[in-house]
Amino acid sequence: MVGMEKKESLDDLIEKAGGCAVIDGGFATRLERHGAEINDPLWSALCLIKQPHLIKMVHLEYLEAGADVLVTSSYQATIPGFISKGLSIEEGESLLDKSVKLAVEARDKFWDAIKKVPGHSYNRALVAASIGSYGAYLADGSEYSGNYGPAVNLQKLKEFHRHRLQVLVEAGPDLLAFETIPNKLEAQACVELLEEENINIPSWICFSSVDGENAPSGESFDECLEIINKSNKVHAIGINCAPPQFIESLICKFKELSEKAIVVYPNSGEVWDGRAKKWLPSKCFGDDKFEFFATRWRDLGAKLIGGCCRTTPSTIRAISKVLKGRS
């Protein structure tokens, strides 16, 4: 029953947002702007240990910019990752719980203040617990290749995700966001895990794409979406952490392949070299271009639109402006 209520709350949010809700933007890159040190395999999850106040600050920035959905700082937060830093399993679980609680606290603080302002144009945001791919944990760029090697099978991927999923669900998010999934096998693992754990919180599964046509593994999205389409545990599908210029054609492709809601939150246009661990010189799209993109993506049928790496509160403000008619 709780799961059904949460599903209705997402549908209700999309409706209140005018048919297309706004997701927040780049997190780790925003934390860096505030002086966070994230040059680490844990990436933004390192701030859960060292600088949690910065995480809350970034959440509040995106809420003020008009985000309807906050994505937690747990993308690279995993129990094995925390153990590698010398933490116990219990401490790792506590940090995963903290990632959700920080977002909820920011949401509640912002909403308690803004709901008293006459004529405001904000919605009470939902909190999506981020679940990064196995490649994100490996921090070797494999979330952009889908090549996990022959030793990684379906069972291994399910067991990798299971404990983190259990802890995040227990923390009480409104949504679950499986992000930068690079291949069919991991998509299958996510779907089967939702079924096995009987998770009733609505979720989305987002793939990355490096060619604008297929999953990073080279598998077609026809293949990747087949098992997702059979699941009533997955509410939405989409693309994140890909260049903006890929999104239009991928929305059209996903519309043909699925009846599920479509979610898109691309990068700024800059390209991340996962092996060299640096941003490559490339075209970066400004806020005015994202206004155009967001309008186009909404008109093509996207129901949730936001930003990923290197996008900022300014980007989200621009998207919110055109989707909600805000000034």
Of 246, 242, 209, nearest in space to 224 by CA:
209
Other CB atoms within a 10 A radius of the CB of residue 9 amount to 15
* Neighbour tally for 128: CB within 10 Å: 28
Residues 6+ apart with CB under 8 A from 124: 13, 107, 111, 115
CA 269 to chain centre: 17
Is 252 labelled a binding residue? no
280: Cα separation from own chain's centroid: 22
DSSP 199: -
For the chain, helix, strand, coil in percent to 5 are: 50, 15, 35
Q: In what order do the strands lie in the sheet with 261-265?
A: 21-22, 302-305, 261-265, 234-240, 203-207, 175-181, 126-132, 69-71
Which is nearest to 203 in space by CA: 167, 230, 179, 239?
179
The 8-class DSSP code of residue 44 comes to G
**Segments in 134-279 forming alpha helices (H):** 134-138, 154-171, 184-196, 221-229, 247-257
* 241 assigned to a ligand binding site: yes
* 3-class secondary structure, 147: coil
| Three-class DSSP category at 173 | coil
Which residues participate in the annotated binding site?
A: 241, 308-309
Which residues participate in the annotated binding site for Zn(2+)?
A: 241, 308-309
